[in-house]
Amino acid sequence: MLTIDQACERAADIVARARAAGADAADAVFAADRSLSVSVRMGALEDVERSESAELGLRVFLGQRSASVSTSDMSSQALGTLVERVLAMAKEAPDDPWAGLAPQDRLLRGSPPLLDLDDGAEVSPETLKARALAAEDAARAVPGVTNSEGGSAGASRSVMAIATSHGFAGGYAQTAHGVSASVLAGNGAEMERDHAHHSARHAAALQAPDAIGQIAGERAIARLNPVRISSGAMPIVFDRRVSSGLLSHLLGAIAGAAVTRKTSFLLDALGTQIFSKAVTIRDDPHRPRGLRSRPFDGEGLPVLALKLVDQGMLETWLLESASARQLGLEPTGHASRGIGGAPGVSPSNLYMQAGSTPPETLIAEIEHGVLVTELIGQGVNGVTGDYSRGAAGFLIEKGEITRSVSEITIASNLKEMFLTLTPANDLEFRYGINAPTLRIDGMTVAGD
């Protein structure tokens, strides 16, 4: 795999070729990746996969016209042909008054921040097999577990670089390690499945595989003998396993493209109260070893920690340069890039701050409700905010978590859900997007 400096050179070289061939402006993304994964089932090795890839993406501008291409062929001849083709494509593209590189005076200058995202990820297949077996063995050892969908472990390392024709070149490397287990409990038609997993940038920070397996087994056992419940309005508690999904719906609504296209249910909400004052949502790209940490965004702009929501008030959209120009605003450092196409937007380490109430207290106050641990389907309308998803979890009766519940649908509108949401005090930084346990009163449950 190339070094970071070599990756930057690859990106800068193709940009220079494009400019020499007549492009008014250009930018390029180079990405290389290597990964290894091992899966086991019922104590036996099931699969070993290794992959290595390297791709280069080029975007060129001719006036207000632009085009993008990508390749995995890094030969000089292939790159020359690539430049010719993308320029020919740009000549035929429609004018876009908003397209262009990021503002030159906003580009990251100097050395990028050191975020400790790379531990080398030189992990042997034997080590990964041992992790996968440990996870599955621990899950199968839980009394009542009767079958297994397997355990898996993986490690990867990637190098990414961006170069632009107006003065930016930068890159970074990051690693990822993961362990998971998925098992079944019960027999016949009464079987229930559940899983557990953990990911980390450094192998040393990975949760012990046997602990992950035990969680998977206990979760499967807890889901046995689900009951049906009557339909009606009731409080819903979103477990931390699923609570971050509500933040994902917020992100879709405040993304620049949704705002400029007028397809967001929060279209007129900037600077207004959309959550209760107990809710603050932050984005922190500089978290050391964070799963979504990054030293700069997909256009070469510096990234900063900021509040998207401050005491319930929506403070900002997420803007890359094109949508920022269209809205007459400044880009927010949230541009994200794939190998092909124009930048989109994405958060870094996004999280909702913990509230002041223990989750046990939020549950203890509920006479009749549901603790949701799994959400099914994609029934969310980003234009209206209407929310309807299949769910499973546990019945809450007189302040206690009691029986397993499945085959229900929970529904409301995200505007109402956000305003009535109460966060617990159990925030844990386990995923790229994190939220504490959340309680929302008055949701509609469709059961029997």
Per-residue model confidence as pLDDT tens digits over 23-61: 999 999 999 999 999 999 999 999 999 999 999 999 999
pLDDT of residue 106: 95
Give per-residue pLDDT as tens, 237-284.
Answer: 999 999 999 999 999 999 999 999 999 999 999 999 999 999 999 999
pLDDT at 448 over 90: no
Q: Taking the mean position of all CA atoms in its chain, how far away is CA 271?
A: 25
pLDDT in tens, 80-98: 999 999 999 999 999 999 9
Average pLDDT of the residues in 429-436:
96
Largest CA distance in the chain: 73
Q: Where is average pLDDT lowest: 19-23, 113-117, 207-211, 375-379?
A: 375-379
Supply the pLDDT for residue 272: 98
| pLDDT score of 121 more than 80 | no
pLDDT at 62: 97
Query: Looking at the predicted structure, is the pLDDT value of residue 1 above 90?
Result: no
pLDDT tens figures, 296-341? 999 999 999 999 999 999 999 999 999 999 999 999 999 999 998 8
**pLDDT (0 to 100) of residue 231:** 95
C-alpha–C-alpha distance, residues 317 and 107, integer Å: 20
Burial 234-250 (b: 16+ CB within 10 A, else e): bbbbbbbbbbbbbbebb
Residue-wise pLDDT for 193-247, tens only, equals 999 999 999 999 999 999 999 999 999 999 999 998 999 999 999 999 999 999 9
Q: What domains are defined for the chain?
A: 4-221 (3.30.2290.10), 226-448 (no CATH)
pTM to 2 decimals? 0.95
Contact predicate 112/87, CB 8 Å? no
- 343-364: per-residue pLDDT in tens? 999 999 999 999 999 999 999 9
CA 179 to chain centre: 17
Residue 189: which of 234, 224, 155, 214 has the closest Cα?
224
pLDDT for 325: 97
Q: What is the mean pLDDT of the chain?
A: 96
| Coil, strand or helix at 3 | coil
Q: What's residue 280's pLDDT? A: 98
Contact between 71 and 86 under an 8 Å Cβ cutoff? The reply is no
- Reply yes or no on whether the pLDDT at 293 is more than 90: yes
**pLDDT the model gives residue 447:** 85
Concatenated DSSP letters for 288-316?
TT-TT--SB-TTS-B---EEEEETTEE--
Half-sphere exposure of 374 (CA within 13 A, CB side): 18
Sheet holding 145-164, edge to edge: 65-71, 44-62, 25-41, 145-164, 169-185, 192-200
* pLDDT higher than threshold 90 for residue 157: yes
**pLDDT > 70 in the chain, percent:** 100
Between the alpha carbon of residue 444 and those of residues 233, 240, 409, the distances in Å are: 4, 20, 8
